[in-house]
Amino acid sequence: MQVIAINGSPRARGNTNAALELMGARLGAEGIGFEIIQVGQERIRGCLSCGECGRRKDGKCVFDDDPVNGAVARMAAADGIVLASPVHYSGLAGAMKCFLDRAFVVAGANGGLFRHKAGAALVVLRRSGGSAALDGLYHYLAYAEMLLATSSYWNIAHGSSPGELAGDAEGLQIVEVLAGNLAWLLKMRELSRSSLPEPPAAAKVRTNFVR
């Protein structure tokens, strides 16, 4: 089994990455592969709602000059996906938001590429705004019909300067418990794959509230 983690921090070796490495170590101890894709330092344009990914049905965004398409392919092939972001102005980091908008639109427009994969979300911050940012990450996982792993508290860890995460004892425990629950969810999913068929995908009903 393989988990892909998306790191939305512009700091390659910051506290968000440290939290993900902690998750990776726990998943590795459970025999689960783990890979971090850092997108926070990339120049990623936002979704233009052009609809080309739905018309072409090739699993790609029409813009192919940044990491989105390569990451989508690896996420689609994985068993689990972790979304991690630092908190900027009580919300997601900008590049992360642009990445997620396009990645999840492509996935939805191409038959639900992430549907029923195991998913987890995690945010890292200096002081406050974590709940709002975490909720933002959950929106993507829930809309994609993913199976959500949880922890013993909100999936929020604290640290500003690189290395400060090590001083957040509760945050470290939250990350450890989250990784353990994600591993358990992945194993349950794998064990039940042949004996418990997943419910069929429903054709999306779209209504317009402007009359």
pLDDT, one tens digit for every residue, the chain (211 residues): 999 999 999 999 999 999 999 999 999 999 999 999 999 999 999 999 999 999 999 999 999 999 999 999 999 999 999 999 999 999 999 999 999 999 999 999 999 999 999 999 999 999 999 999 999 999 999 999 999 999 999 999 999 999 999 999 999 999 999 999 999 999 999 999 999 999 999 998 989 888 6
Domain residue spans of the chain? 2-192
CB 154 within 8 A of CB 116: no
Rounded (10°) CA dihedral 13, 71, 120, 77: -130
CB 133 within 8 A of CB 85: yes
Question: What is the pairing mode between strands 147-148 and 118-125?
Answer: parallel
At a CB cut-off of 8 Å and minimum separation 6, what does 201 contact? Answer: 111, 112, 115, 145
d(CA 130, CA 4): 22
Q: Tell me how crowded residue 116 is: count the other CB atoms within 10 A of its CB.
A: 15
- Give 12-32 as a 3 state SS string: CCCHHHHHHHHHHHHHHHCCC
Sign, CA dihedral 21-92-135-73, equals: negative
d(CA 101, CA 137): 11
CA distances from 53 to 10, 34, 59, 61, 137 (A): 27, 28, 7, 5, 22
Q: Helices 169-192 and 15-29 sit at what angle, rounded to 10 degrees? A: 40
Q: Any idea which fold 2-192 has?
A: Rossmann fold (3.40.50)
